[in-house]
Amino acid sequence: MVVLTEISQQSSSSSTTYDYDVFLSFRGEDTRSNFTDHLLKALREATIDTFFDDSEIRIGEFLKPKLENAIKASRSSIMVLSKNYASSTWCLDELALIMEQPNHIVYPIFYHVNPSDVRKQRNSFGDAMAEHKQRMESESDEEKRSQWAQRIKQWEKALTQVADLKGVEANGRAETILIEEIVKEISSRLDLHKRSEIPKLFGMEWSVRNITSFLKDGSGQRAEILTIWGMPGIGKTYLANYVFQLHYLDFERSCFLEDIERRCTQPNGLLDLQKQLLKDIQARSWMDIDNVNEATLKIEKSLFMNRTLLVLDGISKFEQLDVLIGTKGLHPGSKIIITSKNESLTEKCRLFQTEVPPKHTKHRLQGLNDEESLQLLSWHAFGCNKPNKGDKKQLIKVVEYCQGYPLALKVLGSSFRSEDATWEDILESLGKEINPDIKKVLKISYDTLPSEKDKELFKYIACLFFGEDRKFTEDILKACGIGKSSGIKILINRCLLTVQSSDKLAMHQLLQDMGRDIVHQESPKKPWKRSILWHHEECLDVLQNRQGTTITQGLAFDMRTFENEIWKEPSSANMQMFGFRSYPSFSCLWWLFGWVSGMCSSSRKTKGDFETLALSEMRNLKLLQLNYVQLSGSYKNFPHGIRWLCMHGFPLSYIPSDLQMENLVALDLSNSKLQQLWKKPKLLRSLKYLNLSSCHELVRVGHFSGLPLLERLTLARCSSLLEELPRSIGKLKNLTQLLIDGCSNLGEFPVEIFKDMESLKVLYAGNINMKSHGSSSSTMVPRTPVSFVSSLPRSLVTLSLKKCNLHNESFPMDFSNLPMLKNLFLDGNPMDSMPDCVRSLTRLETLSFSECMKLKTVLCAPIQLKELDVYLCYSLEKIKFHPEKSVLPRVFYHPNFNLTEIQHIFKRQALSEIDEEVLCSLGWINIAYLNNCGFLKADCLGMYHLTGRILL
């Protein structure tokens, strides 16, 4: 995964940085033109960044600042200790400074000198030191003599230390072989095999700062582990490599193991990974290891003894962690970074089962925003961060499709740059077929799912249940024998699925395309031989040609969506279908043609008409969506095993008696022509979800006693529903959600139905006419609805009474009968203050008064409140929270002239009411002139802002 950009200097400057790999110290007159020159050439050819002082003559007694800085900015030093090395005070000063550097690699070369002569300062080294001492003795200035003595002491110490280090002797050896050995050794000591060019990143600055903070945190004594997780191709490896390159020099040992999942599939792959790890973190021999257990023991010992930075990239099984980090624990200050598609793997390894497990942090890597995506796409398409003006419109469409997915942006941008393709060609292919390079990466997560049931679950969600409620989907697919109880959790952990805050299922567009492509490959040319049909044209062909088979288990067709797709864009394919040539000038004509065709469709048989007999051969069909279609024929032709039936715009006035519904789990007839549910009550022992929302012609619903397992009943916006709700609703022991908002003509509400509804958690009863049909005094929710509120079940968690014409006196003294209530919506009601009873809701987290035009105050809001919505409350003056509340809730409000205070957020008051000391501290002198001015005090920041005018 390649992501390119500049990164902020702030994140990179926080790590240890070096300008040079090697500082080369040598005596010019001895080796400049021969050995040292050859060594320098070999080092640079090996891409080892070497500092070489090319000054032929060194003037002065002391080191130049340039050389001092170069030594301090180098990771290592090579000293060519030749015969006359010690005769140079500059060489000796270099040596002394080098030996003082912390964490500095020192490599001495004894060039035709004996290490013992260096250690004991004998022969040429002894003669040189004797000369330096004579100069010291001859110095008449006492201060300079003291300086000479100090320097000689440092030189003697440095010469002794360097002679004791592991180096190389040149006596009797071919210089070419010797230099090759030196380059190889210094490369190994510098871990140059770990080094690569620091990658450039788009849109990951926050992640880099976050991980850098993790690596720099040395406050705890325990070792720490960070898991970077996200979908394949999102940039996990590049991010980990980026921070590794920035910080690996800050640790005693370091290792980056890349692509572990793939390498583990190769012969001896795991053992090879262990050997690479040992090579990087252990100086001793590792080649003789021939089994995984022995390698694990050595790894454990090394990790326990050394402060290590270890990156394990592409972990797919927790057993890989067991053998790569073991169970003995880590050295204090060690950091391990794990990248994985699976959020839950890390804490399953045995290291977390020890008495003192390491601290674990998770970092989910998300996609790029639109601006970052456009930059990345432009980089790969044009080699620059900004698109050409003429291409920007098309690039924005590609960005919208990719939804911030870096791999797709790279692949599509590169395909434009390297292939003879136009943006029109690329846009035409999007959504129809997934790019093979993108599919190859994404499919890794799918292929490694633990069971076939998990794979089936993924396919059905991608094809049919994207955007649906989680429990709704689970119940339906469980009844079909698809997936297992832990299936959705597994898909979430593998980054194949996400659950939004509203509990709706979501997945990246490319993941959905991949899931659908997998189903498409079941039978590319014969859709009737696939398990799921969702493509509208294919569904229509199969149904109209009666090609259904027992293979198909799910079918989704929406006639309105199909028609919108045909006329929305004048693409070359659908224009040519009707004989138009795909020139831009024909776009307007194409739109006109579509409009005329749409107008004429009501007077002829539409393309979406077909007979129910088309379903008769699909005997294994369990999931069926037929929205806004016209059916002819008997409904007994519907397969008997259907679990989910969705028919928006159902054309009949009641459900036919010959429609087999015994196995139904969910029935959705929204926006239909129903006038009544059925002529005779039915016994549907499996039905859990019944949705009749926006059935504007529905007059009565009948009894629900034959639906013993019903959990969710939706009658929202059934504006013609006249009868009172049947009392049989109260017998639905499993009902958790009842939605009747917008039933504006509903008769009186039988409050006694709540008596036995111990499972009801959600009640939406907003926008209901307060007056019943017969009398102005008879009300469904009375002006003082004590009986209504008192009858509500204690299990209620969410209650909506929006636009029910409720005044303050419409509420009881308290809501003590609703101890579980967390969400209360009172929008659009004519109350002038927060009802007193709301304060008794001790668990309330969300409170909404949006569009309450008369609302003036919200005082002493409940202590657990997390969100308060007072948007478009134009009369609002003051908001105050519970005196013991420490964390402020999120407040959504519309600024208005009347609003003077939101406690702890702002307060507006006359300047005359402000303490004079405060005013004087702001520079005001003529206090008497400020009485007519307004003043705004921001309590949360302790700052003051003038809002009125000074009247002189």
Q: Dump pLDDT digits (tens) for 125-169.
A: 999 999 999 988 888 888 888 988 999 999 999 999 999 988 899
The residue whose two tokens read 């609302």 is 855
User: 157 or 194, which is more confident?
Assistant: 157
Contacts 24+ apart (CB under 8 A), 831-837: 831/806, 831/807, 831/855, 832/808, 832/856, 832/857, 832/875, 833/808, 833/857, 833/858, 833/859, 834/858, 834/859, 834/861, 835/808, 835/811, 836/811, 837/789, 837/811, 837/812, 837/813
Predicted pLDDT at 143: 87
Burial 664-682 (b: 16+ CB within 10 A, else e): bbbbbbbbbebeebbeeeb
Residues 6+ apart with CB under 8 A from 195: 245
pLDDT tier, 528 (very low <50, low <70, confident <90, very high otherwise): very high
* Cβ neighbours, 10 Å, residue 639: 21
Sequence-distant (6+) residues with CB within 8 A of 59 are none
Q: Is 907 a residue whose pLDDT tops 90?
A: no
Phi and psi at residue 939, to the nearest 5°: -60, -40
Mean pLDDT over residues 52-79, rounded? 76
Say if residue 787's pLDDT is above 70: no
- Extract the tokens encoding 622: 């369990």
Q: How confident is the model at residue 784 (pLDDT cuts 50, 70, 90)?
A: very low
Q: 851 pLDDT exceeds 50? A: yes
Residues 675-695 have a mean pLDDT of: 93
Which of 190-199, 529-538, 542-551, 883-892 comes out lowest in average pLDDT?
190-199
Average pLDDT over all residues of the chain: 84
- Show the tokens assigned to 409: 């942006």
If pLDDT is split at 50, 70 and 90, which confidence band does 728 have? confident
Catalytic residues: 94
Start-to-end C-alpha separation, the chain: 67
The first and second tokens of residue 168, run together, are 């190389």
Which one has a higher pLDDT value, 791 or 243?
A: 243
Q: Are 123 and 167 in contact (CB under 8 A)?
A: no
User: Is the pLDDT assigned to residue 776 strictly greater than 50?
Assistant: no
Among 290, 300, 307, 294, smallest CA distance to 321 is for 300
Please report which confidence band the pLDDT of residue 64 belongs to, taking 50, 70 and 90 as the band edges: confident
**Pairing status of strand 623-627 against strand 224-229:** unpaired
pTM of this structure: 0.74
> How many whole angstroms separate alpha carbon 742 and alpha carbon 476?
28
Task: Give the contacts of 317 (CB within 8 A, at least 6 positions apart).
Answer: 264, 345
| 917-945 average pLDDT score | 57
| 804, 749 contact by CB (below 8 A) | no
| Span 350-387, pLDDT tens digits | 999 888 888 999 999 988 988 888 888 888 888 777 77
Tokens 């770990």, located at residue: 194
Distance CA 557, CA 536 (A): 6
DSSP class of residue 200? P
Q: What is the predicted pLDDT for the residue at 931?
A: 54
